[in-house]
Structure 1
Amino acid sequence: MYTVTTPKTEKELAAYYHFRWLCLREPWGYPEGSEKDEYESVSEHRIIIGSDNKIIGCGRVHLNTSEEAQIRHIAVDNTYRRKGVGKIIIDTLEDVAREMGAERAVSNARESSIPFFSACGFMIQEDAPTELGSLKRKMVVKYLADNHVLILHPKWCAELQNTWHERIPISEHMGILLHQYTERTIETRASLNKNINLHGTMFAGSIYSLATLTGWGMLFLQMKQKGLSGEIVLGDANIHYHKPVTMKPRAVCDIESVDAKFDFLRNGKKCPASLNVNIFDNEDAVAEFTAQYWILPSKQN
């Protein structure tokens, strides 16, 4: 049985880097320490532990840009190669990249590794710089999509995402993305790495912004369903924080919490709309957001 985890303690990190060196640098005669680079502190590191509690695989991912994640240092113990360990690492790092808000993942693959990356859905994009002075490499890319979520009305959802990024640019810098929409529920997510404070948790202001945009997005999509349009503004809001966010920021708004007088909007009047948004850290409820919005009629109504 394999366990995927993040090395955190000094002992775990030392074992992780030693394993990376043994697999990726020592065979070529490079000294211990050469397995590290300047991106270690801004990267997410993952290791796979085998049944004997020893590291059997590892990998790392960091952001090149807000849209692109770089996967590096994939290593598997010789005994466990061709047993699916490498695929587990890639799948894990892709999930991390999605949580960071990346739209695509890239890696510089040695020629001998290209069949593996191809089997994982990557495509060759261009030549990459040689590694260790002589090993030829290709840059491979994979566009990330989550096939396990339900997105109804994808055109409206794409319009909402574009509206956030164009009219509220900070939403893109925060890595806020529409994750799921079912007509009755909207779920958004944010990148923890882009909103992390000195305590290693999510800024309270970032949580508030995520909740505000989630409620805003629910009203935007509800108006689309009803053939209405208008300007959504936040009137008043309260948020209660119970626990810090340390892993995966999620915000969920259910239609049952929405109380909106859309008939007012149809009649060209200002529409009051109240709702609740629940904030989760992965599956743990951590905050509750209650808000009063106003939808101002537009000339189209």
Structure 2
Amino acid sequence: MYKIDTPKTDEQFEAYFQFRWKMLRKPWNHPFGSEKDEYEQVAEHRMILDANGQVVGVGRVHMNMSEEAQIRHVAIAKEFQGKGLGKLIYSALEEVARSQGAKRLVTNSRRISIDFFSSCGFEIEKEAPTEMGKLKRTQMIKKLSDVNQVMVHPKWCQELQKTWYETIPISEQMGIQLYKYSGTTLETRASLNKNINLHGTMFAGSIFSLATLTGWGMIHLKLKEKSLEGEIVLGDGNIHYHKPITMQPRALCNVEFLDGKFELLQRNKKTAIKLRVDILDGENPVAEFKGVFWILPVTD
């Protein structure tokens, strides 16, 4: 299991910068300390931790101007490459940029990274100045828009939305939509008007359904990422309601709160996955769902 984290303590920053130097500067014989620049204090930093709490990926984003953010220093440990962690750290950085009002992303990519950033939606703009006199760079840009939300594995997300509507018709009647998937967080939304009761708030049963589908969807996408198959069924689900929903129903499921052993499926064994889904009304938390889903191995 991997976790996106923000370094905060001196110890965490030491591990973060040590990893950045090891991956991006040491191969070029640059001294420790050369991995830092004048933007560190104003930038947002993210790192990926493995199950043992070790840094296996890093990245940084900072604002160049009011509507432009620059992504730099994205690196994944060699033994963890090819697992989708690059997209994971990138998605976290793009979310930060969006939250700070960025309408455009820019990165100065090395040749070996052009394909990666192209797959994230960037386009080549022009050649950029060489870094430290040696590393040739290409400037790439990505324009952000409201319809260009962070969506890792968009085809899988489209398939999931289609699966919901075709196999659970009531999900379409409720207006449930997959709004955003960053690799670490799945967000779904529903139409309040289609789920409103006589008090002008969302039906409790609709909230439960939204939470259940969101948890189911998160597991579905994680199975895809791990190249595994299985039938997902709800074993147990409990929800605690704090406040009614009167505006915008939202459901968030974060990978940090997924607990279970997916690898059991490789041995043709069923596995239980525990998770949490937070329900919000706009930006306000209003309910919390905790569930246990069983994944049953596919039989011929």
1:153-205 deviation per Cα after TM superposition (whole angstroms, max 9, x unaligned): 01100110011011111000000000000110000000000000000000000
Q: Does 1:147 pair with 2:173?
A: no
Deviation at 1:223, TM superposition (A): 0.2
Matches within 5 A, 1:1-301: 146-299=146-299
Change (3 A) 1:200 1:185: same
TM-score in terms of structure 1 length: 0.51
| One-letter amino acid of the counterpart of residue 262, structure 1 | F
| One-letter amino acid of the counterpart of residue 240, structure 1 | H
Q: Distance in 2 between matches of 1:160 and 1:256?
A: 21
Q: Which one has the largest radius of gyration? A: 1
| One-letter amino acid of the counterpart of residue 289, structure 2 | F
Q: Distance in 1 between matches of 2:229 and 2:178?
A: 20
Deviation at 1:266, TM superposition (A): 1.1
Q: Distance in 1 between matches of 2:291 and 2:226?
A: 21
CA RMSD across the alignment? 1.2
1:200 aligned counterpart, secondary structure: coil
1:113-144 deviation per Cα after TM superposition (whole angstroms, max 9, x unaligned): xxxxxxxxxxxxxxxxxxxxxxxxxxxxxxxx
Deviation at 1:263, TM superposition (A): 1.2
Q: Which runs of 4+ in 1 moved over 4 A?
A: none
Q: Distance in 2 between matches of 1:276 and 1:180?
A: 17
Deviation at 1:282, TM superposition (A): 0.1
Q: Distance in 2 between matches of 1:230 and 1:243?
A: 35
| One-letter amino acid of the counterpart of residue 239, structure 2 | I
TM-score in terms of structure 2 length: 0.51
Deviation at 1:261, TM superposition (A): 1.0
Change (3 A) 1:283 1:148: farther
- In structure 2, the gaps of 5 or more residues are 1-144
Q: Distance in 2 between matches of 1:285 and 1:203?
A: 16
| One-letter amino acid of the counterpart of residue 220, structure 1 | H
Deviation at 1:147, TM superposition (A): 2.1
1:260 aligned counterpart, secondary structure: coil
Deviation at 1:148, TM superposition (A): 5.0
Q: How many residues align?
A: 156
| One-letter amino acid of the counterpart of residue 183, structure 1 | G
1:259 aligned counterpart, secondary structure: coil
2:256 aligned counterpart, secondary structure: helix
